[in-house]
Structure 1
Amino acid sequence: MREALQQGAVFWNGGEFYGTPEYNSLVLLDRYFEKYPDDADKVILSIKGGLNTETHRPDGSPEGTRRSIDNCLRQLNGRKKLDMFEFARRDQKADMKETFTVIQKEYIDKGKVGGVSLSEVRAETIHEAVKHAKIVACEVELSL
C-alpha cells in the first residue's frame, strides 16, 4: 500500500463487507494508518457500505445508514475520515431524500464524511440522487 501511494495511487476504495466483519478492508486500512499516520491525508478514501451485514441486502434506512457509517468510522479508529461513503447498492425500500439527509446532517456537516458516492446505479438513480445530495463520485452499472 505504501508503494502504491508513493507511485501516485491516491484513490483507495474499500468496503465494510470486503472480508468478514472482524477482518475486512477497513481493518487493513486502520493498521496501515496506525503505522503510517502521515499518509492518511494523502489518500482519498472511498468506502462502500449500506448493506445489512446479516442479510447482505441494501439498507438505506436511517438506522441502517447510521449503523454502516458508524461501523466504518469505528473500524478506522479515528485515523482517517471517510472521504466518500458509497452505498453498495440502492435500497429500493428506502426514501433517498431521507437517507441523504441523515448523511448530510449527521456526517458531512460534522466533518466525519466528505461526500456521497454511488455504486452500480442506473442513470435514473443518478438523476434522482442529485436532487437530494451533492454526489461526488459514481460507479455506474455496466452490463455487456
Structure 2
Amino acid sequence: MTVQSVITLGGTASHITVGKVAHGLMMMTWTPNPVPDEICFEAIKAGVDAMPSGVKMLLNSGEFYAVDFSTANLELLARFFEKYPEYAERTFLSVKGGGKAEGFPVTDSPENLRRSVTAVNTALRGTKRLDLFECARVDPNYSVEQTIGILSGFVKEGLFDHIGMSECSAESLRKGNAVHPIAAVEIEVSPWSIEPETKNVLKTAEELGVAVVAYSPLGRGFLTGQIKKFEDLPEADVRRHLTRFRNPEYFQHNLILVDKLTEIAQKKGITTSRLSIAFVSSLGDKVIPLPGSSHVKRTLENTYSADAKLTKEESDAVWEIINNYEVKGDRYHGADPKASRLWG
C-alpha cells in the first residue's frame, strides 16, 4: 500500500514530486542516547517504501543535530546510504545549517555559510546529493538578499541544488524569493502553533508557489496525547527546557487542548496524531507536515496521515478550538521572539 497524497515542491524544485508528509530525523541523534543505526535505518526505509513510484520522500536533517552540535545526524545518513545506496535517488534531502562550529547562534557571514555547506557535504561523504540547503535562522546582521545571493552562488558552484529558508517572516520570504526562487520554507505549524505570522507565511508561500515544510505538527509530541505530565519526558530531553513543557501551570492548561482534539479524532476514528498531521496538511496544497520519528510504526502512521482527509466540519471544529483556546507559553525558551531570531 502506498500513500495517495503527493505534491510538487516550489521554486527551482517545482519539477520534483514528494510525499505530502516528510520525515524529520533530528531526534535520532539529538539525544544523550542516540537511536541505534538499525532502528533508524528501518524507519527511514519504511517511509521511503511507502512512496508511489517516482515520488521521493523528503528527509529533513541538520548540520548540528546532536547534543554536542556535531554532524552526527548527517553521518548517520551517510551510513544509511552506504548500506542502502538505492535509496539515495528515492529521497529529497533538506539540511539546515549556518550554525557556528559550536552550534548556535546562526551567523550568515559568507565565511560561515561556506564552512557550513562544506561541513554538510563532508559528513555525507558523497553518499547522497545535498538537494536543499537552508539557514536555520535569519541573521539580522546580514540582509536576506545578501544571504540568499551567497547561497545562489553556491548553487552555481554545484555545492547543492535548491535553496530553502527557515523560521523567516513573510516579508523575508518575499525578499529571498526575489533573489533566487525558494524551493521550500520551513516553519513550525500545528494546532497549538498557528501565530499571526504563521498565517502570513502560509499565504505568501502559496502566492509565490513555495512549498511549506511544517515542522513539529504534533507539538513536539505533546499533541499525541501520550505525554500526560512533565515527568513523562526523559531526564535529558531537550523539551524539558521549553516553556510549554517546563512550566507546570502551562503544561496542565495545555492538556485541555489535547483533550479537545482527541474528541474530534475519536469521532473520526483516527488518532490525535493523525488528526493533527491531516489538519496541517489541509492548510495548503504545498504544505508538507514534518513530524519526526525513529521507529517504523510511528513513521508509517505519520506518513499515511495526510491521506486522512478532513471534512469541512472536522476542519472547522479544529479551527474553532484554535480560535477559542489560548495556548499558554511560547514556542521556545520564553525569550523575546526577536532575541531568539524567530520570524526574522
Fold shared, TM-score > 0.5 on shorter chain = yes
- 2:96 partner SS: strand
- 1:56 partner SS: strand
4+ residue segments displaced more than 6 Å: none
- Deviation of residue 101 (structure 1)? 2.5
Structure 2 distance, partners of 1:23, 1:103, is 20
Amino acid at match of 1:135: I
Q: Which residue of 1 is the match for residue 57 of structure 2? A: 10
Structure 1 distance, partners of 2:150, 2:78, is 25
The structure in which a higher percent of residues are strand is 1
Q: Compare CA radii of gyration and give the structure with the larger one.
A: 2
Percent identity (aligned): 34
Q: Which residue of 1 is the match for residue 160 of structure 2? A: 113
1:109-130 Cα distance to aligned partner (Å, 9 max, x none):
2333111111111111111111
**Structure 1: 5+ residue runs without aligned partners?**
none
Q: Does structure 1 residue 48 correspond to structure 2 residue 96?
A: yes
Structure 1 distance, partners of 2:101, 2:128, is 22
Q: Is the 8 A contact 1:62 1:98 kept in 2?
A: no
22 and 93 in structure 1: CA distance in 2 versus 1, 3 angstrom threshold: closer
1:17-48 Cα distance to aligned partner (Å, 9 max, x none):
11134452101100001101121111000001
Q: Which residue of 1 is the match for residue 127 of structure 2? A: 79
Q: What is the TM-score normalised by the length of structure 1?
A: 0.89
1:50-95 Cα distance to aligned partner (Å, 9 max, x none):
1113251111111010000000000000111211101110011023
Structure 1 distance, partners of 2:45, 2:188, is 30
Structure 2 distance, partners of 1:21, 1:29, is 16
- 1:93 partner SS: coil
Aligned with 1:39 (options 79, 83, 87): 87
The structure in which a higher percent of residues are helix is 2
- 2:166 partner SS: strand
Cα RMSD for the two superposed structures? 1.8
Q: Does structure 1 residue 66 correspond to structure 2 residue 114?
A: yes
Q: Does structure 1 residue 97 correspond to structure 2 residue 169?
A: no
Structure 1 distance, partners of 2:173, 2:148, is 13
Aligned with 2:180 (options 105, 128, 133): 133
66 and 23 in structure 1: CA distance in 2 versus 1, 3 angstrom threshold: closer
141 and 21 in structure 1: CA distance in 2 versus 1, 3 angstrom threshold: closer
Q: Which moved more, 1:114-123 or 1:96-105?
A: 96-105
Q: Is the 8 A contact 1:18 1:25 kept in 2?
A: yes
Structure 1 distance, partners of 2:110, 2:122, is 18
Amino acid at match of 1:2: K
Q: Is the 8 A contact 1:122 1:140 kept in 2?
A: no
Q: What is the TM-score normalised by the length of structure 2?
A: 0.39
- Number of residue equivalences: 143
